Structure 1
Amino acid sequence: MSASHADSSADTGARYSIGQMCEEFGVTARALRFYEDERLIAPQRVGTQRLYSERDRARVAWILRGKRVGFSLAEIGELLDLYDLGDQRRTQRQVTLDRCQERIEALTRQKADIDETIEELEGFVRLLQDNSED
């Protein structure tokens, strides 16, 4: 996985401190450093200070959205890396769409399993309550 800045055309030159990023995204500095260690983002270093670009901001937004919907950081990194293929993000969009569809299907199956288990438990509770009245 790589957070290279090969495609800086979308980078306006704006830079954000780690504090600004933490506030904007509701994450800790430790989380941002972890994403950097995992090569998901690549802030510019000025001495000991990290300066985040628009690209880093977009990648953090992707990371957080991906985590919310249940993707692993490895999966998120794979999707992020597809941005740099130079095909106007067609591959990234299609692979992301496919992965989201797969995730929806898996969650739908899980939901059905959970609903079935709840029904089974409710039936068992009713049986136990009916037997306790005897």
Structure 2
Amino acid sequence: MTQKTYSIGELAREFGITNRSIRFYEEKGFLTPERAGTKRIFSAADRVRLKLILRGKRLGLSLEDSVAIVDLYDPVSGNAAQRNELLKQLDARKLQLESQRKEIDLALAELEDVKRRVLSDKNQ
């Protein structure tokens, strides 16, 4: 039985990205489709790899970090290293987002303070 393959357009539509984005990932060496003339033929493994890279991107991980985590997968010895690296990256991203939230909360409080002062000055 032959394995399902995908065209660049099929993957782009499925994941809501452009063909150019997929070509970028290919140029960087993150995806390695087969070729039939000028046509790219992506395997199921390429599809899963792209899905995981895009998930990392949505979580705010760098492209390099996402790819490094995906590359740790070893179907023979298991995925403990991959899981541990992912957990480490997720913890780091969570700390970064919490820090940004604190900065945003401070900025919002300052905006409200300035707004109150402006309104107070207007009423005088």
Structure 1 match to 2:34: 44
Structure 1 match to 2:55: 65
Structure 2 match to 1:13: 3
1:31-76 CA distances to partner (integer Å, 9 max, x unpaired)? 1110001111111111111111111111111111111111111111
Count of equivalent residues: 123
Correspondent of 2:17 among 27, 40, 43: 27
CA RMSD after TM alignment? 1.4
**4+ aligned runs moved over 2 Å, structure 1:** 84-87
Structure 2 match to 1:93: 83
Name the TM-score, length of structure 1 as normaliser: 0.86
CA distance in 1, matches of 2:33, 2:46: 7
Give me the identity figure in percent. Answer: 39
1:91 Cα shift?
A: 0.4
Is the counterpart of residue 110 in structure 1 residue 100 in structure 2?
Answer: yes
Correspondent of 1:127 among 95, 117, 122: 117
Name the TM-score, length of structure 2 as normaliser: 0.92
1:94 Cα shift?
A: 0.9
CA distance in 1, matches of 2:70, 2:36: 25
User: Which runs of 5 or more structure 1 residues have no equivalent in the other structure?
Assistant: 1-11
Correspondent of 1:78 among 68, 72, 75: 68
Counterpart of 2:29 in 1: which secondary structure? coil
| Letter of the structure 2 residue corresponding to residue 58 of structure 1 | V
| Letter of the structure 2 residue corresponding to residue 74 of structure 1 | E
1:84 Cα shift?
A: 3.8
1:117 Cα shift?
A: 1.1
| Letter of the structure 1 residue corresponding to residue 51 of structure 2 | A
Higher RCO (C-alpha 8 Å, min separation 6):
1
Which segment drifts farther, 12-21 or 87-96? 12-21
